[in-house]
Amino acid sequence: MLDREDRLALSSRILDTGVIEDPSLVGITNRLVEVADGVGFVETIGNATAVATADGIVLVDTGTVSAGPAIVEALEGWRDDRVSHVIYTHGHVDHIGGSGLVAQRSAARGDAPPTVVGHARLPARVERYRRTDSFMLAVNRRQFLASGPLDAGQDDAPLGLDRDTFLPPDVVLPDVLVHDRLDLAIAGERLELRAARGESDDEVWVWLPERGVLCAGDLWIWRFPNAGNPQKAHRYPADWARALREMAALEPEIFLPGHGLPMRGARRIRTALEIVAGVLEDLVEQVLALMQSGATLDEVLTRITIPSAVATQPYLSADYDEPEFLVHNIWREFGGWWDGDPAELKPAPRAELGAEVATLVGGPTALAARAVELAGEGRLRLACHLAELATHAAPDDADVHRARVVVYTARSDAEASQMARALFIDAANRSRERVADPAAGTTAAAG
């Protein structure tokens, strides 16, 4: 078990000074720290919180299937009690994936199965994952660089992406559903569950009023909010901000996020929540104002101003998701999928467009060569367009794919967010596979 003061003092120093002393200190420990009397917190891939009651342990989230054993072991080392309830903060696989292992623990002990509580929309999410399992596995391998050539030593097992299926087959669905709000009384312990939309449409955050403890799920991840993710279902930044302000108003003394360190201190917690809410609200209002002025999505993306807190607050680092991606989700929520460009309403096939442009400039090789020149000049966005057009025009041309490797390797090296880097690395990897040329280059660091 980790020392309570070490983890809480570390997060307090980061919040107070704005300095992350050592990124390795805020990573995955797979160990439990008792953040308050009778409240255990396991820092893992998708944190888990355990609340001791007279009737057993209430477990908030179960981590991934690969983190499940660490969570079960941490519980065993903490208290020899049954798990009476499991509460899901949302249905992402890094929060429900270990539920089967928790159920196995109960069965092995001869305990009654835990009562499982989750948002009313969570079963539909699980069904969607089942229907799109191969797609979701491919998407997440791209996002976390677990496909194609990998960096030396990279391990996809902690994320559970080394399996043949995305969603573990033994995930336990909820018995009790939360629609808007649900108050539970468990052996005299009062838990207030409130529904929200943020990173997902099935968020539930948990407030323990007598203890001053709040479990936020992925409404807080110690990073810029994951509200833009280009490969995932829609996210809800405006609702996310609203949920953060509701949590801040309660002034929790202990704040337990879905990822990263636990936090302590009502004032510093409230300040942090309100700053993040303000960033989300600022971006939403900017996009809406530009939309109402008649701007297209392309114009919005070039005219948006990133709030200064993104660069100055340690919990708003845009090294995973990023503000530009969030703008797309705001546009999609309020304006639909069309970006305002009439040519993109019913566009020509990319292969046809690529072939026509290649003809105009002297062929796909010339187009690819110009893409490499632009990349060398640092005009990487434009270089990517030309590289794609050349590849669409000549999908089997080895020289075109070699040029594409050069362009996307340069692009990935220039990106700050993991999501952008991962997708650009994946593009380069796909072209490497087409030319079967290991000497074409090496993948950029995953970060």
The pLDDT tens digits of the residues spanning 29-87 come to 889 999 999 999 999 989 999 999 999 999 999 999 988 899 999 999 999 999 999 99
* Greater pLDDT, 4 or 366: 366
* Contacts of the segment 300-304: beta carbons below 8 A, 24+ positions apart: 300/327, 300/331, 301/327
The model's confidence at residue 281, banded by pLDDT at 50, 70 and 90, is very high
Largest CA distance in the chain: 77
What pLDDT does 159 receive? 65
> How do strand 32-36 and strand 39-42 relate by DSSP bridges?
antiparallel
pLDDT at 443 over 90: no
- For residue 159, which of 177, 142, 141, 171 has the smallest C-alpha distance? 141
The model's confidence at residue 313, banded by pLDDT at 50, 70 and 90, is very high
In this prediction, residues 199-215 reach a mean pLDDT of 98
Q: Which of 96-105, 123-132, 162-171, 338-347 has the lowest mean pLDDT?
A: 162-171
- For residue 312, which of 282, 275, 261, 280 has the smallest C-alpha distance? 275
- For residue 64, which of 168, 175, 202, 144 has the smallest C-alpha distance? 168
pLDDT at 444 over 70: no
Q: Give the Å distances, CA to CA, from 419 to 231, 378, 423, 426.
A: 9, 20, 6, 11
CB 410 within 8 A of CB 375: yes
Model confidence over 188-197: pLDDT tens digits? 999 999 999 9
Specify the 3-state DSSP secondary structure of 335.
helix
The model's confidence at residue 341, banded by pLDDT at 50, 70 and 90, is very high
Report pTM: 0.92
CB 186 within 8 A of CB 81: no
pLDDT at 359 over 90: yes
Nearest-angstrom CA–CA distance, 239 and 223:
18
pLDDT at 153 over 90: no
The model's confidence at residue 432, banded by pLDDT at 50, 70 and 90, is very high
Residue 162's CB is within 10 A of a number of other CB atoms, namely 12
* Domain architecture of the chain: domains with CATH: 4-275 (3.60.15.30), 348-440 (1.25.40.880)
What pLDDT does 3 receive? 75
